[in-house]
Amino acid sequence: MKLNDKLQNNDLYPFHMPGHKRNKNFNIPASEIDITEIDGFDNLHSPTDLLDDMQKEISKLFGAKKSIISVNGSTCCILAAISAVAKENATIIIARNCHKSVYNACYINKLKVEYIEPEYNTEFGCYKNITQKSIDTAIAKHPNACAVVITSPTYEGYVSNVSCNIPLIIDSAHGAHFGFADFLPKQAKADIVIESLHKTLPALTQSAVIHINNEKFFGKVKKYMDIYETSSPSYVIMASIEKCTDFLKNSESYFKQYKILLDNFYNKVNKLGNIHLLKNDDITRIVLKADGYSGEELANHLRKFKIEVEGAFLEYIILISTVCDTEDGFNMLLLALTNLEKRDKIHTGYEKPNLPMKDCETYEIEETKEEYLEKAKNKVCGEYIYAYPPGSPIIAPGEIISDKFVYQIKKLYESGVNILSDSNLLPLKILTKK
């Protein structure tokens, strides 16, 4: 029996958690299927029945050797994956544009971090893909590294097709939809691949999966998923994962219609003249800018037409489209862009940013102090500063605060980009190493 069927037909009175008791009088959304690990409903941390079957179905569907469900999003999976490959005092090679959860995993495991720099798009000012050459060069310099970690696809939709002779972990949180239609990139292949179903497929927020393709890590990944994942996994989220996988088995017609909507959108936008589209690897990830507008100005314009964007940056915005989008939704977006007042083009391009100089590893910073941003130049940063979304650090603890960094932060704030820090002291202050 499927999990959703069993949840719908559950007629037992619950003298158990959760506290809402599925009582409809309290009007709690989805409470009617929100249960706990009672008899007949399996246990995610030791699955032998419904959830075991679901995970096996997911493995088959995504072409993985083993898959484990996450109700704690991709963050939990990334922590588990890196912990599974980590060795004491080891070096790990990561792409500089990795999500902050990768950095947190390195911190927890006290790993020495070496960076791979992605290629750079100077027109839009964003990172692109990782090249095979950069992977090979990094491994040649650090042959004893415990793993390589990259993000593919990137937030902007660039894909890295790489391989290596040491464990490879791919954060493919934004690529769960890959491989389910001919117009999409192929599913990522690596020792461990992490995907957020909720980002690009019909599943509830926090729905994710970790695929393990190297038998060496089966036991360790499971061990660390049990450590990092909640001991009270949400059956509401797991039910949505099951619905999502059921959809994917018979999704061909939906993706065909989706492609028609995308083609129509791109054809019409390309005729506007003042809108510039990023040529990435995933056409479902719509990244665009408009002459004379900052990303925040463009996002504010779209809000007037009842559209909320995924992210706004210095000059561009990111819009996540999925197979669940409607023709009406695309028409609303086209109407908003068509009604954008034309301005003269101002900016001509971006320089590739230099990697920050590193003074020490993140785990070596024991104490920090508050410092005015202007007076923090040439000092060692004591916290993560990142644009959110997506959550990739602009500077990390242990890196030296440069003049360029201070200028960049000020510019980002002035442009309305959402900048977060561990201390929430910015834009006036920053934490530095004591």
* CA–CA distance, 117 with 355 (Å, rounded to integer): 8
Q: 362-433: CATH homologous superfamily?
A: Molybdopterin biosynthesis moea protein, domain 2 (3.90.105.10)
Confidence (pLDDT) at 11: 86
Q: How confident is the model at residue 21 (pLDDT cuts 50, 70, 90)?
A: confident
* CA–CA distance, 73 with 158 (Å, rounded to integer): 21
Q: In CATH terms, is domain 252-338 a member of 3.40.50.300?
A: no
pLDDT tens track for 43-69: 999 999 999 999 999 999 999 999 999
* CA–CA distance, 389 with 342 (Å, rounded to integer): 28
Third-level CATH fold of 3-249: Aspartate Aminotransferase; domain 2 (3.40.640)
Confidence (pLDDT) at 374: 92
| Cis, bond preceding 202 (omega within 30 deg of 0) | no
Confidence (pLDDT) at 16: 82
Judged by DSSP in three states, 132 sits in helix
| Cis, bond preceding 153 (omega within 30 deg of 0) | yes
* CA–CA distance, 327 with 332 (Å, rounded to integer): 9
Confidence (pLDDT) at 131: 98
pLDDT tens track for 191-218: 999 999 999 999 999 999 999 999 999 9
Edge-to-edge strands of the sheet including 419-421? 392-395, 385-387, 419-421
Q: What angle do CA 57, 59, 61 make, to 5 degrees?
A: 65
Confidence (pLDDT) at 387: 87
Confidence (pLDDT) at 346: 79
pLDDT at 145 over 90: yes
pLDDT at 261 over 90: yes
Mean pLDDT, range 403-419, rounded to an integer: 90
Confidence (pLDDT) at 22: 86
Lowest mean pLDDT across 140-144, 206-210, 225-229, 424-428: 424-428
| Surface-to-core class of residue 349, CB atoms within 10 Å of its CB (0-12 exposed, 13-18 middle, 19+ buried) | exposed
Confidence (pLDDT) at 365: 96
* CA–CA distance, 161 with 191 (Å, rounded to integer): 14
In DSSP notation, 182-241 reads TTSPPPP-SSEEEEEHHHHSS--TT-EEEEE--GGGHHHHHHHHHHHS-SS--HHHHHHH
pLDDT at 347 over 80: no
Confidence (pLDDT) at 20: 85
Confidence (pLDDT) at 154: 98
Domain boundaries, the chain: 3-249, 252-338, 362-433
pLDDT at 351 over 90: no
Q: To the nearest whole number, what is the mean pLDDT of the chain?
A: 96
* CA–CA distance, 88 with 280 (Å, rounded to integer): 38
